[in-house]
Chain A
Amino acid sequence: MIGWLDVPRNWLDSFGEIVRFGAQVAGQVYSGRVFKFFGESLRQAGILIFGSALIIWAFVFIIGLQCGLQGAYFNRSVGAPSLAGLFSAYCGLREALPYAFGYILSAKVGTGIVAEIGAMRISDEIDALEVMGIQPVTFLAATRLLGAWIAIPFLYLVGIGIVYLAAYLAVVKQVGDVSSGGYLLIFWMYQSPPDVVFSLIKGMVMATAIVLVGCYYGYTASGGPVGVGTATAQSMVVNIILVHIIGMLGTIVFWGSNPRAPIGG
């Protein structure tokens, strides 16, 4: 039976280890040592796209629908139904999309990496790699990080389009308080190219953290088949907290002092 304070204590404990491991992996990528295995990185990017893209976009679509729905009804309740586009633009682009992306990435990609690398660790394949003279951290973790950096920006940008489409469907077609033109006018007015870049940065930081956490828990898994399951479950705890903290810090840094709204002078 676990105690009341075990979760925060474990979190703090493993957080330091994860930072050290993550710095090591990122160092492998920046120093260019990972390019020895560039083919493997491309393969990991391909796995990411073919294995996870559809589920990520489906999830993001649902979030977009919710954004539109909540925004349409909230704007009706304050007597400004034609301003539903404001809510969808802010909610969709700035907040809900990064969070939804973080959730589904930690659920699909993060735990997937833990399960995969953890199984390799349990069946001693990582030791075998080391014996063969291949650095396991470079070959397993750094290639995945590079693969994620190659593939995820594009997944994210397509996700933005999908959120926009879903919010449009919910506001204009489902609730129907505002005409298509009226919605789109406000919707495009309340966002600017820097917002997209900021949102992308937020998503990419989350993705990097999730991949590193996944690699760490997979790499350090122990204790047989049960250990892989436990490590997978633990990685989700860390991922959820990290996603929320990164999301909050991103909002404070990018929009905290300046809402970037086309109102006033």
Chain B
Amino acid sequence: MFVETGEMVILTAKTIVSAIRGPYPYGEELVWQFLFVLKLSWFPLTISTFALNLGAPGLQAAGVLSLFGALDRLGGFFIVTAVRWIGPLVTAVVVAGVAGTAITADLGARKIREELDALQVLGVDPIKNLVVPRFLALMIVTSLLDIFAIVFGLTAGIAAELLYHQSLGGFFATLFSNATVTDIWASVLMCTMFGAIIAIVCSYKGMSASGGAAGVGRAVNQAVVIALVAVFFFQFVVTSILLATNPDLQAIR
């Protein structure tokens, strides 16, 4: 386990160095990967964020708030859940589960068929041509998908308010008075880091797949588990630091 962590850190360093240092042959592959991840993820992401936000913060919180007769506070609550927590979380789960697994399966298949070795023999650097575009594409696409996750999360909040026959004015009032730029930026930047983690873990596991038919499947299995645990732990650490260092996020509005 420690060996693997170390090798993933080395792969991260190599990826960043070869992304910055020229030449830059990965432009086309970057666009291709970006579209690939986007086409794979948009449908699961839409359904997942809507369902999760309607159930967890929407109906549960609205149930309690309606007992207090304070359903308009749901807007403020959605800043905590949809923007700060569930948006990045669901984006990470969907990208890791949908795009990360596809990346591992793709790279693992190339590794098993010895295409990666063939590339190296041809003088093509697999890190520069395969890992770097995936790394950059996942970073960009995860942070952009986070915005979609927030939008659909807030839509679910509106649906929850409507299910309780509540006017939306109060929801939007508390939503916008509690929303801060720090929260949005933190959410988006967190997702960028999630994309980086997922890309590195999944690329590493794919490129180190071995053992024939069972090997690729096992690589996908391990990659998605490691990616999920790493992302969730990272989110916990970032949220702790963010909330402890920004007292203005905790003001009552």
Measuring CB to CB, which residues of chain A are less than 8 angstroms from any residue of chain B? 1-4, 6-8, 11, 55, 58-59, 62-63, 65-66, 69-70, 73-74, 76-79, 86, 90-91, 94-96, 99, 103-104, 106-108, 111-112, 114-116, 118-119, 122-123, 174, 224-226, 228-233, 236-237, 239-241, 244-245, 247-248, 250-252, 255-256, 258-259, 261, 263-264
- Asked if residues A62 and B225 are in contact (CB atoms below 8 Å), the reply is no
- Asked if residues A259 and B105 are in contact (CB atoms below 8 Å), the reply is no
- Asked if residues A6 and B221 are in contact (CB atoms below 8 Å), the reply is no
- Asked if residues A247 and B55 are in contact (CB atoms below 8 Å), the reply is yes
Judged by a CB distance under 8 angstroms, whether B84 is at the interface is yes
Interface flags for B163-176 (1: CB within 8 Å of A; 0: not) read: 00000000000000
Instruction: With CB as the reference atom, state the residue of chain B lying closest to A202.
Output: B55
CA distance A3 to B43 in the complex (A): 12
- Given A4-B39, A226-B216, are A65 and B236 also a contact pair (CB < 8 Å)? yes
- Asked if residues B214 and A78 are in contact (CB atoms below 8 Å), the reply is no
The 15 listed contacts between A and B (C-beta, < 8 Å) are: A78-B73, A79-B252, A95-B56, A107-B228, A111-B224, A225-B113, A229-B109, A233-B98, A239-B97, A240-B97, A245-B47, A252-B55, A252-B59, A255-B59, A259-B66
CA distance A1 to B233 in the complex (A): 34
- Asked if residues A247 and B51 are in contact (CB atoms below 8 Å), the reply is yes
Judged by a CB distance under 8 angstroms, whether B249 is at the interface is yes
Instruction: With CB as the reference atom, state the residue of chain B lying closest to A237.
Output: B98
- Asked if residues A240 and B85 are in contact (CB atoms below 8 Å), the reply is no
CA distance A158 to B224 in the complex (A): 23
CA distance A211 to B139 in the complex (A): 31
- Asked if residues A233 and B236 are in contact (CB atoms below 8 Å), the reply is no
Instruction: With CB as the reference atom, state the residue of chain A lying closest to B62.
Output: A259
Chain A residues, CB < 8 A from B178 = 77
Interface flags for B44-72 (1: CB within 8 Å of A; 0: not) read: 10011001101110011101101110000
Chain A residues, CB < 8 A from B240 = 69, 174
Min CB distance, B21 to chain A, in Å? 29
CA distance A104 to B221 in the complex (A): 11
Chain B residues, CB < 8 A from A69 = 236, 239-240, 243
Chain A residues, CB < 8 A from B51 = 244-245, 247-248
- Asked if residues A76 and B250 are in contact (CB atoms below 8 Å), the reply is yes
CA distance A86 to B60 in the complex (A): 11
Judged by a CB distance under 8 angstroms, whether B87 is at the interface is no
Judged by a CB distance under 8 angstroms, whether B143 is at the interface is no
Judged by a CB distance under 8 angstroms, whether B25 is at the interface is no
- Asked if residues B225 and A104 are in contact (CB atoms below 8 Å), the reply is yes
Residue among B44, B215, B220, B232 making CB contact with A7, cutoff 8 Å:
B44
CA distance A233 to B212 in the complex (A): 17
- Asked if residues A259 and B216 are in contact (CB atoms below 8 Å), the reply is no
Measuring CB to CB, which residues of chain B are less than 8 angstroms from any residue of chain A? 32, 35-36, 39-40, 42-44, 47-48, 51-52, 54-56, 59-61, 63-64, 66-68, 73, 76-77, 80-81, 84-85, 90, 93-94, 97-98, 101-102, 104-106, 108-109, 112-113, 178, 212-221, 224-225, 228-229, 232-233, 235-236, 239-240, 243, 249-252
The 7 lowest CB-CB distance pairs between A and B, nearest first, are A115-B217, A259-B63, A229-B105, A229-B216, A233-B101, A119-B214, A251-B55
- Asked if residues B55 and A59 are in contact (CB atoms below 8 Å), the reply is no
Min CB distance, A16 to chain B, in Å? 17
Residue among A6, A123, A233, A255 making CB contact with B60, cutoff 8 Å:
A255
Residue among B48, B59, B94, B217 making CB contact with A232, cutoff 8 Å:
B217
Min CB distance, B235 to chain A, in Å? 7
Instruction: With CB as the reference atom, state the residue of chain B lying closest to A91.
Output: B56
- Asked if residues A123 and B213 are in contact (CB atoms below 8 Å), the reply is yes
Chain A residues, CB < 8 A from B219 = 229
- Asked if residues A251 and B56 are in contact (CB atoms below 8 Å), the reply is yes
CA distance A144 to B85 in the complex (A): 34
CA distance A167 to B219 in the complex (A): 32
- Asked if residues B40 and A2 are in contact (CB atoms below 8 Å), the reply is yes
Min CB distance, A67 to chain B, in Å? 9
Min CB distance, B177 to chain A, in Å? 12
CA distance A114 to B244 in the complex (A): 42
Residue among A78, A86, A111, A240 making CB contact with B48, cutoff 8 Å:
A240
Chain B residues, CB < 8 A from A231 = 217
- Asked if residues A112 and B52 are in contact (CB atoms below 8 Å), the reply is no
Chain B residues, CB < 8 A from A90 = 60-61, 64
Min CB distance, B244 to chain A, in Å? 8
